[in-house]
Structure 1
């Protein structure tokens, strides 16, 4: 099956998802192996964020050729994760002695973790509306 050409917004989404998968994954692996006892919950949540970014990258890549179901599920899971972790990190800061990627809605990354799934869902909605 041939792939659909990627639009500018699609390429930007793919680049950001790849960057965040790498950044969150590397950060969490370093933290888990060198400082595990300091904040294991935050570090495991960062690893979970990295996994959602990696799966999100693949899902968004597939969505350009019409396979949008998995992308929709992944983007909603990611948004739920960043909203849940962001809210809990503000309400119960003792649970987060060190930040995760999604702590405070991704403030450490310029709130990109909160904006990224929203941008992906907007792109996906437009993808579904465009004529085949």
Structure 2
């Protein structure tokens, strides 16, 4: 399960990075908030992926922090994208709870926290 989780995080990191890079380079001025949020999501996924791979207490704690941040981000941005859609006319990775990514951004942090709770402080 741990390896599958890392692979899914890595795929999402690549997808979010590609999306945010493309959005920022092509049309940042059209939706700076949305595109910045996509970049933040990409950074979170990259850090979470690395933290899940690395052994040790620091990596374990970093994984918890990034995954909790991810869940909060998905819930806050997802809710705001429904409540005040005029601020999210351009989609982000976390818009509508990750609808554009088949809701993986909503489910993944829950699975990540479950896995971390069951595998405390991995060491080399």
- 1:125 Cα deviation from its structure 2 partner: 0.7
Tell me if structure 1 keeps the 8 A contact 2:98–2:105: yes
**Please, which runs of 5 or more residues in structure 1 have no aligned partner?**
1-8
The answer as to 2:78 corresponding to 1:86 is yes
Tell me if structure 2 keeps the 8 A contact 1:60–1:71: yes
Instruction: Say what the alpha-carbon RMSD is for the aligned residues.
Output: 1.5
Q: Size of the alignment, in residue pairs?
A: 120
The 10-residue stretch of structure 1 (45-54 or 121-130) with the greater mean CA deviation from structure 2: 121-130
Aligned match of 1:35: 27
Q: Give, in whole Å, the separation in 1 of the partners of 2:76 and 2:51.
A: 22
Given the alignment, which residue of 99, 105, 110 partners 1:107? 99
**Please, which runs of 5 or more residues in structure 2 have no aligned partner?**
none
Q: Give, in whole Å, the separation in 1 of the partners of 2:31 and 2:106.
A: 22
TM-score between the two structures when normalised by the length of structure 1 = 0.86
> How do residues 54-69 of structure 1 correspond to structure 2 at under 5 angstroms?
54-62=46-54, 65-67=55-57, 68-69=60-61
The answer as to 2:71 corresponding to 1:97 is no
Q: Say which one has the larger Rg.
A: 1
Aligned match of 1:121: 113
Q: Give, in whole Å, the separation in 2 of the partners of 1:114 and 1:25.
A: 18
TM-score between the two structures when normalised by the length of structure 2 = 0.91
